[in-house]
Amino acid sequence: MTILKRKAKLQIVSVWYNRENYVAESISSVVEQLTTDMILTLVDDGSTDGTLAELQKFSKYSNVEIVDKPNSGFVTSIKLAISARDSNYIAIHGAGDISLPNRFNLQLELLESTKSVVCGCRFNNSNSTKLYGKKIANVNYSKKIIKSNPFSHGEVMFCRDAYNQVGGYRTFFKYAQDRDLWCRLSTVGNFVSVDKHLYTRSANMENNVSNDVIKIIEQRYYSSFALYLHKVAISNECYDYLDIDSVDALMFSSRGDIRRELIKHYFISIKNNKLAPSIFLLRQIKKECPFYQASFISIFHYFVSRLIK
């Protein structure tokens, strides 16, 4: 289905890949909140299951549009959907997640009244009642974001003008594309959040990054590099390491935390008898920690002997 270009006050974007069993409940939670000045853009990124068919059931609504495209990954897909229309604001809705009643209206009202550029809310994971999300009262976050990420991703709404001003999502970031975007948006306006529980993230889905140790490590690399770029930007240095046309650019970032994560997840994967992740992590450790190589075999035997007891 071709994306329409008619103007809307709010565009809600949701990108899907192989999550057919989650479509009905997840998208219904959004459709129930739509008003005449909102558009919901649903993108199927080349799913190989029945996800597209489930999404197409919502095409009967005049303010829901379906984008069926070959698989190209999340960042390329969401950039396509956002660039294909005009709106004052953009909201994200994660595939399989639940936007709780009145989420979009409350975030719109707060963004408009405070003139902030990004708005979050309180959220929980579907397997827990614990609430996450910071209380943010229209403040500049350009330095605070270095210490902590104020948002997840699916619960966020932001101003399109600010999004365009900073260049939007960057395809370089296979993971942590949201943190990279928040870092850059923090330099052009304030952040704010609705101090109410308005979003639930679906936990334990098969293709979640959080369920794949290799993806977790990759995500840490990209997040660390996003922060490094941000530190460079706010220190008034003019060089952008993304000019280096290689993933090796990631190596410019600080890696102390990544080294610890690599080693921790390596031994966890060994304990759980996961061979493929173990081999991947071992290679990364040797790259990241050359000072371990001489005695790595003895260290390996020591820890494994203790972990498998």
Mean pLDDT (whole number) for 279-285 = 54
End-to-end CA distance of the chain: 56
| CA–CA dist 41, 65 (Å, integer) | 5
Query: Residue 93: is it exposed, middle or buried by C-beta count within 10 angstroms (0-12/13-18/19+)?
Result: buried
State pLDDT tens for residues 48-73.
999 999 999 999 999 999 999 999 99
pLDDT of the residue at 117: 98
pLDDT of residue 277: 52
Are 26 and 97 in contact, with CB atoms under 8 Å apart?
A: yes
* pLDDT surpassing 60 at residue 292: no
Name the DSSP letter for residue 21: G
Q: How far is CA 271 from CA 223, 263, 288, in A?
A: 27, 13, 22
Determine the average pLDDT of the residues in 11-18. 97
Asked whether the predicted pLDDT for residue 169 surpasses 60, the reply is yes
Helix axes 213-234, 275-288, angle to 10 degrees: 30
pTM for the whole structure: 0.78
For residue 38, what are the β-bridge partners? 10
Residue 203 DSSP symbol: P
What is 142-177 written as a DSSP string? TTHHHH-----STT-EEEHHHHHHHT---TT-SS-H
Identify residue 236 by its one-letter amino acid code.
N
Query: Does residue 89 register a pLDDT over 70?
Result: yes
- The pLDDT assigned to 134 comes to 86
- pLDDT per residue as tens digits for the range 184-205: 999 999 999 999 999 999 987 6
Q: pLDDT at residue 251 above 80?
A: no
Domain boundaries, the chain: 8-201, 209-307
pLDDT digits (tens, 9 = 90+) for 99-109: 999 999 999 99
CATH no., domain 8-201: 3.90.550.10
pLDDT score recorded for residue 172 = 86
